[in-house]
Chains A and B, each alone.
Chain A
C-alpha cells in the first residue's frame, strides 16, 4: 500500500465522524429543547394586580408564572428599619432604595433563594420573612440575613399602571 491511500481513508473517516456528529446533534437538540418552557407557558408572562385594598403592614400574595409574588405595603417603621441596615451586614448587599422604587411598596418573588420554598410573613429574627424549610431569615426589605439562602428574594420587573394597579412582568 502506498502512503497516500491511508491518509485518504483517515480523512474520510474523520469527515464521516464529523458529519455524523452534526447529524446526531441536530436530532438530539429538538429532543432536549422540547423540555424547555413552551409557547403557552411563556404567554402567561404578565399579571395586573389591584392593590387598593392593601393596608399598611399587610401583604398580599399573587400568583405570577406559577410562583407567588409578595406585595407588601410597608409601615414607616419597616421602611426605616430597612434603610438603616449597614451594607457590610448584608450577605447580598442591595440598598433598600434599589429594591423598592416607592418605599411604601415592596414587590418581590415570594420564593426562598435557597431551594424555592415560600417564606412566611412577619416571622424570623429580622421582622420580615422566615423560610420554614431550611431556616432562612429575611429582613423588611426581603434581604437574606441569616440561614442557607445565598441571595435576597428576587424583585421582578413591575410597574404601577395607575395609583392602584401593579403590573408584574
Chain B
C-alpha cells in the first residue's frame, strides 16, 4: 500500500512490526498522500466515522438499561429517560445521532455524485458504500421499532408487509420475519438482536471502504488522476486531520443543537404512545431520511410494482458507475451534467417532501412526476449525456490552473486521451 518501506526507529517497535506490521499501517495512514485541493465536502468520511462510533458507544450504554420485551420495552425507554443517570442525554444522542448519520451520508453521497467519485477505478468503494447505506437503513428502521411506540409498531408492520408483495412465498416470509401472525414480542426481540449486530457489520465494511479507497487514492474536485506522492498531494497527517477535525467540530455544533435544543423535532409525537395493535395512527410517516423512497413506494398504484420501484430506486445506485458513460469525473467540467445534478437533488428533496404529505390529489401527482424523473435521470439522461455532452477542457494537474504545466508527464498523457 505504502510507496516506501517503513522501518520503526525503536528496537521494540522494529521487533513488534516484524511480527505484526501495525506500525507500517499507522505510517501508511499518516503519510497517505491526499490531493491538496480537497474541499470541505471531503470531510464527511471522517464525520461519518465519528457518527458510527457515537452510535455504537451510545447504543451499547442504552442496551445496558433497555428491555427487549413487548410488555416492558416502552416503559424501559421511559425509565432510561427519567431514572437512568444521563439516560436522557445518551438516548437523545443516539436517536438524533441516527438523523445526523443520515444527514452526513447524504452529503457524502451527493459529493460523490457531483465529483464523479464513483467512476473507474473507484467502483468497488462506491458499491461497498451503497451496501453500508442499505445496512444503515436496516439498522435505523429496526432501532426505531425498539421503543415500542405507535410509530414503532406500525412502521414495523408496514415495512415488514412490503415482503408480502412477493408472489407465492410473500406471506410465508412475512410470518417468518414476525415469528407470529402479527408484529409482536418475537419480532421485537429479533429486531433488537439485529439492531445490535448491524453496526458491527457496518464497521467491518467501513474498513473495506477505506481500504478500497487507499488503493487508487482520493478523487478530488478537479476529478483528474494525480501522481502520488507529488506536488499535487499533501500527507494525510497533519493537513487532512486538521481539516477533518475542524469540519467535525462544526458538525458537532449542529448535532448538539438538535440534542440539547430540539431533541424531538425529528421524531413523531405518536411514538410517545405505547404500541397498540388495534389502532393505526391517522398518519404513518417514516423517519425523514427514508421519505424519498417512501414517496416512490406510494406513487405507484400497484402493491408489488410499488415495492419494486422503491427497491430499484436504491439498487440503481449500485450500477451507477456503468450508467454514467462520461469519462470526465468532476461536474466542474461537465456543464450539462452539472445542471442535471442540481435538478436531481431538487427532485429527491421534492420526493422527500411528498413522502411526508398525505398520498392524495396534487401531492400524489407531483410525487409521480418526481418518481418518473428520478428513474429518467439514471436510466436515460446519464447514459446519453456521456455521448452527447461537450465537456470543458480538463487541467493537466491540480497546480496547472494556478502555475501552468503539469508536474508529471503521466497525468498529462492520460488527460490528452480525454481531449480527443
Question: What is the interface of chain A, defined by CB distance below 8 A to chain B?
Answer: 32, 35-38, 41, 61, 63, 65-68, 114-119, 131-135, 147-150
Name the 7 nearest CB pairs between A and B, nearest first: A66-B182, A65-B181, A116-B161, A115-B161, A118-B280, A117-B280, A115-B158
**Partner of A41 from B181, B301, B359 at Cβ < 8 Å:** B181
| In the assembled complex, B399 has its CB within 8 A of some CB on chain A | no
B positions within 8 Å CB-CB of A: 154, 157-158, 160-162, 164, 175-184, 186, 190, 277-284, 298, 300-304, 306, 358-360
Task: Please tell me if the beta carbons of A116 and B158 are within 8 angstroms of each other in the complex.
Answer: yes
- From A32, A66, A150, B277 is in contact (CB under 8 Å) with A66
User: Does the CB pair A37–B280 fall under 8 Å?
Assistant: no
- Measured in the bound complex, the distance between the Cα atoms of B277 and A36 in whole Å is 20
Main SS of chain A's interface residues? loop
B157 with A41: CB separation less than 8 A = no
B160 to chain A, nearest CB (A): 8
Distance, CA A133 to CA B281, complexed state (A): 8
Q: Please name 9 further chain A to chain B contacts, defined as beta carbons within 8 Å, in addition to the given A65-B180, A68-B277, A149-B303, sorted by A numbering.
A: A37-B181, A38-B179, A41-B179, A115-B162, A115-B303, A117-B158, A118-B278, A131-B280, A148-B298
Known interface pairs A63-B278, A135-B359; A37-B180 also in contact (CB < 8 Å) = yes
Q: Name the distance in Å between A108's Cβ and chain B's nearest Cβ.
A: 15
User: Are B298 and A41 closer than 8 Å at their CB atoms?
Assistant: no
Given known A-B contacts A35-B176, A35-B190, A133-B280, A148 and B303 have beta carbons under 8 A apart: yes
B interface: dominant SS: loop
Smallest beta-carbon distance B47→chain A, Å: 34
Residue of chain A at shortest CB distance from B301:
A148
Query: What's the Cα separation between A148 and B297 when bound, in Å?
Result: 10
CA distance A65 to B283 in the complex (A): 24
Central interface residue in A35, A66, A116, by most chain B CB within 10 Å = A116
B182 A117 Cβ-Cβ under 8 A:
no
B300: A residues at CB distance < 8 A? 148
**Chain A residue nearest in CB terms to B300:** A148
Whether the pair B284, A36 counts as a contact (CB closer than 8 A) is: no
Distance between A169 CB and nearest chain B CB, rounded to angstroms: 10
Beyond A35-B177, A36-B175, whether A115 also contacts B278 by CB under 8 A is: no
> Of A63, A67, A117, A150, which one neighbours B284 at CB under 8 angstroms?
A117
CB-CB under 8 A from B161, the residues of chain A are 114-116
Are A37 and B175 touching (Cβ within 8 A)? Answer: yes
Of A67, A132, A148, the contact of B182 (CB 8 Å cutoff): A67
What is the CA–CA distance of A35 and B306 in the complex, to the nearest angstrom? 27
Contact of B186 among A41, A114, A135 (CB under 8 A): A41
Can you spell out 6 A-B residue pairs with CB atoms less than 8 angstroms apart? A36-B176, A66-B181, A68-B278, A116-B164, A118-B280, A149-B303
Q: Which residues of B contact A148 (CB under 8 A)?
A: 298, 300-303, 306
Partner of A133, one of B177, B183, B284, B360: B284
Q: Is the CB of A67 within 8 A of B181?
A: yes
User: Which of B157, B183, B190, B359 interacts with A134 by CB under 8 Å?
Assistant: B359
Q: Which of A37, A38, A61, A135 contacts B360 (CB 8 A)?
A: A135
Across-interface contacts of B282 in A (CB, < 8 A): 132
- Chain A's closest residue to B175 (CB) is A37
Complex Cα distance A68/B23, Å? 61
A147→B298 CA distance, assembly (Å): 10
User: Which residues of A are found within 8 Å of B179, using beta-carbon distances?
Assistant: 35-38, 41
Complex Cα spacing A38 to B160, Å: 19
Q: How far is the CA of A30 from the CA of B36 in the complex (A)?
A: 55
Give, as a whole number of angstroms, the nearest-CB distance from B156 to chain A: 9
Alpha-carbon gap, A20 to B161, bound state (A): 35
Residues of B with C-beta under 8 A to A37: 175, 178-181, 186
The closest CB in chain A to the CB of B364 belongs to A135
Min CB–CB distance A6 → chain B (angstroms): 37
Closest to B285 in A: A133
A118 to B153, CA, bound (A): 12
CA of A115 to CA of B306, assembled, Å: 11
